[in-house]
Chains A and B, each alone.
Chain A
Amino acid sequence: MFLFTSYIALSILSIINLIHYLRKNSFVDYGIILTSPLAPSISLLAPAHNEGVGIVEHVRSLLSIHYAKLEVIIINDGSTDDSLEKLIKGFQLEPVKFSINQQLPSKPVNAVYKSTNPSFKQLTVVDKVKGGKSDALNAGINISRNTLITCVDVDCILESDAILKMVKHFIEPSTSRVIATGGVIRIANSCEIKNGQIVKVHVPKDYLPRAQTLEYIRAFLISRMAWSQLNGLLLISGAFGMFDKEILIKAGGYNTNIVGEDMELVVRMRRYMHEIKVPYRVAYIPDPLCWTEAPATVKMLGRQRGRWTRGIAQTLLIHKKLFFNPRYRILGLLSYPYWLIFEWLTPIVEVFGFIYFLIMMFLDRENSQFFLLLLGGVYSFSIMYSMFAILYEEISYRQYKKLTDILKLMLTALSEPFIYHPLNVYWALKGNFELLRGKKDWGVMVREGFTEHKEEEQK
């Protein structure tokens, strides 16, 4: 009952916040920020490791973002492919004598490149020894000159007004300091892309990306929206987030020893603000701002989910001091316990429950009727929850114009509890085993890339 109630409470909170945001946003002219001399300056950091396929197109897409005071820093994190060569050729780069202010620890930088072409003057490319994503981001922060830091995955597609929507939170009137902002990440599989922009949105054709689409809608439009209303957000997706550079550095930058660096950074920044006793806020934007390619195979998705589980567990273990600690208010009393119980431990409890049921069945002591009733209850609840998520999508951004896309999502909601959910539980469990075994690496992520869609479009 507690579980049901908490999900319903989150849904109600989310819809109130969502409607308020939409009403408020309908009067905003973001173009005003675009060229204003009063707008804050932003450094956009994109780490890249072996992204040779399509890196030039991706960087071009980042350079086309509308914002006057923007620098784009690409960090080539020890790529063994031809990423750097392609960047050098694609943007007419040459090494410069850059004196780095080593404010955050990172692996050595081999060289910093700038373009000889004035059209790319806001581009800086950093070539460094491989140290992982967080290490690359720390190196980028050391190079950056601006007051706000935006971290983005190099292969993501940003909406043209994404930066403007993010920056708005930092300049709006507020009684507390905004230290970070996150937005909605959407899945781009099967979408049509032209010139580095999404031109037509479709629900993915394949089952796994489609199930992830539904999962993302639930997570971003219900869960995170509600948590942001409570100022209890613990996670800003590593794919796209904006941070107050001063606080980011004072909190110690990205942790290079864990795989869940995005969540750990937000928790540490929040903790830092509590410790210096300055009112703060982690803001959230329900607009779809960033499009990413979701893993389409069981192997890749399993690897990603295992890593996410390890990241959550590592973060929660590092910051165990927060657990029900009234000093940290919402962070300690609500957000941390919620993540511990619902995001980390629930899959484990679920598996133990299932094993217990099997043992009881083997001993002929199970109550099959009660089990089936309970299963029906949970199943119908999960469908209702997914339908609410689709409704929220419908009343907010209506990304899926075709009715068939909505029907596909509804059908996915019906099958998800029996196909996608058990896989997720398995991967979460596997992630926990990997954590116990001390696995620290990210694992190789192979993506199909968006370029094929682009070529199809051109044909």
Chain B
Amino acid sequence: MLTPHEIIYLTLFFVLTALGVVAVIFYLRARNLILHNFKSQLEGQYKSMLTEDIFSNTQKIIDTTKYFGLIKASFVFKILFKLKAAKREVLLGLLAGMHKNLSGEPGDKIKLMYNQLGFINDSYKKLHSRFWEVKITGIRELTEMNVTEAKEEIMPFINDKNVVLRTEAQMAIIRLSPVSDISFLNHLTSDLSTWEQIHILSTILEKDPGLAPDFTQLLLFPNKTIVLFAIKMVDHLREQKGTPVLIELLRNEDPEIRNCAIHALANLDVLESVPILLEIYNEENKENQLEIIRAVGKLGSHAGEIGFLQEELYNSDHEISLAASYALKATGSNGKLLLRKIKKESNDKIAAVIEHSLDERII
């Protein structure tokens, strides 16, 4: 139980804290406004100077000393911010933004400026920061300026426990290699999440989809998540030479790997996988059975395969029955004819499933 004096002290504490918080709110508002205005003003000046220097045909080497003599910041600004750091941040941001969109001589000039102004050293220093977000900024700057020598220093971050930093490092390694290099996957010590997979794929495609790396070499890798990624990539990039290993993976002990392999084999039109798919069907879990049915529908056309699908159409499980109906439809015009024939002879439930699969408006 609190005494009256304690309550008074507590009340005073709450009131003073509330007033302090209000003061912080106003301070933050003012601070953001001042910084925003300063940056806009500086950006405007830098932009026109950069455009002039970079696109000038006569000037091969740019006089960089003039860039930091600009703008006299107000007294308030100097108190609130580190002026030099703010200027460097704005200029570096602009250089990186312009480098992204320019190649050839203008691009080279920007990179030269980046080196001359000492930004390259700043970027390297950032890699050794205690803070992961600073490390990422360093990686981004070095990658944007295509400092290929930085690859070695970035490499250790591919296994960092911070996923944002890890992903950034993985993308940087691909970007800084002449052709998309995925050998770093061999050095991964943790699982490769879908999040990282999406970023790796996007970086490969952004670099040069025609020069995509060979993922088949990773199909038998010990790390399950990398195998799953490799299967998806073999499928997506249509790497036909991976099909023998994919068939081999149908016997893998992991059901998720088998599921992914079935899906890829169907997409890659590997007809020789059908007998094995039918052979393993009864031993599989429901997810994989559904995948096999879809694959057989896409790849099969022989009487045995049609018979298998017809049998599964009568399965008491609605999902399997519907998948079989769709699979029969996928076999071609004969499959559709067969479905129409079965519909006439079947009970309402099967007829409804067939009608559903034959309705082109339902995707």
Q: Contact residues of A with B, CB < 8 Å? A: 1, 4, 23-24, 26-28, 32-33, 36-40, 94, 96-99, 101-102, 114-116, 121, 168, 171-174, 369-370, 373-374, 376-377, 380-381, 383-384, 387-388, 390-391, 394-395, 398, 403, 406, 410
How far apart are B62's CB and chain A's nearest CB, in angstroms? 30
Between A and B, how many residue pairs show CB distances below 8 Å? 117
- Are B11 and A373 neighbours in the complex by a CB distance under 8 Å? yes
- Are B29 and A380 neighbours in the complex by a CB distance under 8 Å? no
- Are B352 and A114 neighbours in the complex by a CB distance under 8 Å? no
Q: Which residues of B contact A101 (CB under 8 A)?
A: 318-319, 322
Kindly state the separation between the CA atoms of A1 and B3 in the bound complex, as whole angstroms.
Answer: 12
- 10 shortest A-B CB distances, which residue pairs? A173-B193, A380-B14, A171-B194, A99-B356, A97-B355, A384-B18, A387-B21, A114-B361, A99-B352, A101-B318
Closest to B162 in A: A24
Known contacts: A98-B362, A173-B190, A380-B14. The answer to whether A394 contacts B133 by CB under 8 A is no
- Among A39, A171, A173, A390, the one with the most B-chain Cβ atoms within 10 Å of its Cβ is A173
Closest to A31 in B: B202
B94 within 8 A of A: no
| Residues in B23-61 with C-beta less than 8 Å from chain A | 24-25, 28-29, 32
Q: How large is the interface on B (under 10, 10 to 19, 20 to 34, 35 or more residues)?
A: 35 or more
Contact with A27, one of B29, B136, B191, B232 (Cβ below 8 angstroms) = B136
Q: Which residues of B contact A4 (CB under 8 A)?
A: 10
Contact with A377, one of B14, B17, B21 (Cβ below 8 angstroms) = B14
Kindly state the separation between the CA atoms of A337 and B38 in the bound complex, as whole angstroms.
Answer: 51
Q: Which residues of A contact B363 (CB under 8 A)?
A: 121
Known contacts: A26-B133, A99-B352, A390-B25. The answer to whether A373 contacts B7 by CB under 8 A is yes
Q: Which residues of A contact B193 (CB under 8 A)?
A: 171-174
- Are B359 and A39 neighbours in the complex by a CB distance under 8 Å? no
How far apart are B122's CB and chain A's nearest CB, in angstroms? 18
Some 17 contacts from A to B, beta carbons below 8 A apart, are A26-B133, A33-B198, A36-B198, A36-B201, A36-B202, A38-B201, A39-B194, A99-B318, A99-B356, A101-B319, A101-B322, A114-B362, A171-B193, A173-B191, A373-B7, A384-B15, A391-B24
B197 within 8 A of A: yes
Q: Which residues of A contact B29 (CB under 8 A)?
A: 394, 403, 406
- Among B11, B18, B193, B353, the one with the most A-chain Cβ atoms within 10 Å of its Cβ is B18
Closest to B197 in A: A38
Closest to A115 in B: B361
Q: Which residues of A contact B168 (CB under 8 A)?
A: 27
Closest to B131 in A: A23
B251 within 8 A of A: no
Give the secondary structure class of B's interface. Answer: helix
Contact with A along B160-172 (1 / 0, CB 8 A): 0001100010000
Q: Which residues of B contact A384 (CB under 8 A)?
A: 14-15, 17-18, 21
How far apart are B181's CB and chain A's nearest CB, in angstroms? 19
Q: Which residues of A contact B79 (CB under 8 A)?
A: none
Contact with B7, one of A26, A114, A374 (Cβ below 8 angstroms) = A374
Kindly state the separation between the CA atoms of A114 and B15 in the bound complex, as whole angstroms.
Answer: 59
Q: Which residues of B contact A99 (CB under 8 A)?
A: 318, 322, 352-353, 355-356
- Are B25 and A391 neighbours in the complex by a CB distance under 8 Å? yes
- Are B352 and A388 neighbours in the complex by a CB distance under 8 Å? no
Closest to A32 in B: B202
Q: Which residues of B contact A395 (CB under 8 A)?
A: 28
Q: Which residues of A contact B191 (CB under 8 A)?
A: 173
How far apart are A127's CB and chain B's nearest CB, in angstroms? 16
B280 within 8 A of A: no
Known contacts: A173-B193, A369-B4. The answer to whether A116 contacts B361 by CB under 8 A is yes
Q: Which residues of B contact A40 (CB under 8 A)?
A: 194
Kindly state the separation between the CA atoms of A40 and B198 in the bound complex, as whole angstroms.
Answer: 11
Q: Which residues of A contact B11 (CB under 8 A)?
A: 373, 376-377, 380
Q: Which residues of B contact A37 (CB under 8 A)?
A: 201, 232, 236
Q: Which residues of A contact B7 (CB under 8 A)?
A: 373-374, 376-377
- Are A32 and B198 neighbours in the complex by a CB distance under 8 Å? yes
How far apart are B2's CB and chain A's nearest CB, in angstroms? 7
How far apart are B241's CB and chain A's nearest CB, in angstroms? 20
Kindly state the separation between the CA atoms of A50 and B193 in the bound complex, as whole angstroms.
Answer: 43
Contact with A97, one of B10, B190, B359 (Cβ below 8 angstroms) = B359
- Are A23 and B133 neighbours in the complex by a CB distance under 8 Å? yes
Kindly state the separation between the CA atoms of A410 and B164 in the bound complex, as whole angstroms.
Answer: 36
How far apart are A156's CB and chain B's nearest CB, in angstroms? 26
How far apart are A121's CB and chain B's nearest CB, in angstroms? 6
Closest to A24 in B: B164
- Are B15 and A380 neighbours in the complex by a CB distance under 8 Å? yes
Q: Which residues of A contact B236 (CB under 8 A)?
A: 37
| Residues in B307-339 with C-beta less than 8 Å from chain A | 318-319, 322
Contact with B14, one of A114, A116, A381 (Cβ below 8 angstroms) = A381
Closest to B318 in A: A101
B214 within 8 A of A: no
Q: Which residues of B contact A403 (CB under 8 A)?
A: 29
Q: Which residues of B contact A383 (CB under 8 A)?
A: 14-15, 18
Q: Which residues of B contact A391 (CB under 8 A)?
A: 21, 24-25
How far apart are A312's CB and chain B's nearest CB, in angstroms? 28
How far apart are B318's CB and chain A's nearest CB, in angstroms? 4
B8 within 8 A of A: yes
Known contacts: A114-B362, A171-B193, A394-B28. The answer to whether A38 contacts B18 by CB under 8 A is no
Q: Which residues of A contact B25 (CB under 8 A)?
A: 387, 390-391, 394, 406
Q: Which residues of A contact B245 (CB under 8 A)?
A: none
B199 within 8 A of A: yes
Q: Which residues of A contact B75 (CB under 8 A)?
A: none
Contact with A along B185-196 (1 / 0, CB 8 A): 000001101111
Closest to A33 in B: B198
Known contacts: A27-B133, A373-B11. The answer to whether A97 contacts B202 by CB under 8 A is no
B71 within 8 A of A: no
Q: Which residues of B contact A171 (CB under 8 A)?
A: 193-195, 198
Kindly state the separation between the CA atoms of A102 and B355 in the bound complex, as whole angstroms.
Answer: 17
- Are B199 and A32 neighbours in the complex by a CB distance under 8 Å? yes
Kindly state the separation between the CA atoms of A383 and B362 in the bound complex, as whole angstroms.
Answer: 55
Q: Which residues of A contact B195 (CB under 8 A)?
A: 168, 171-173
Kindly state the separation between the CA atoms of A26 and B131 in the bound complex, as whole angstroms.
Answer: 14
B22 within 8 A of A: yes
Kindly state the separation between the CA atoms of A32 and B168 in the bound complex, as whole angstroms.
Answer: 13
- Among A39, A99, A380, the one with the most B-chain Cβ atoms within 10 Å of its Cβ is A99
Q: Which residues of A contact B359 (CB under 8 A)?
A: 96-98
Kindly state the separation between the CA atoms of A134 and B247 in the bound complex, as whole angstroms.
Answer: 44
Closest to A36 in B: B198
Closest to A386 in B: B18
Contact with B4, one of A114, A174, A370 (Cβ below 8 angstroms) = A370
| Residues in B256-294 with C-beta less than 8 Å from chain A | none
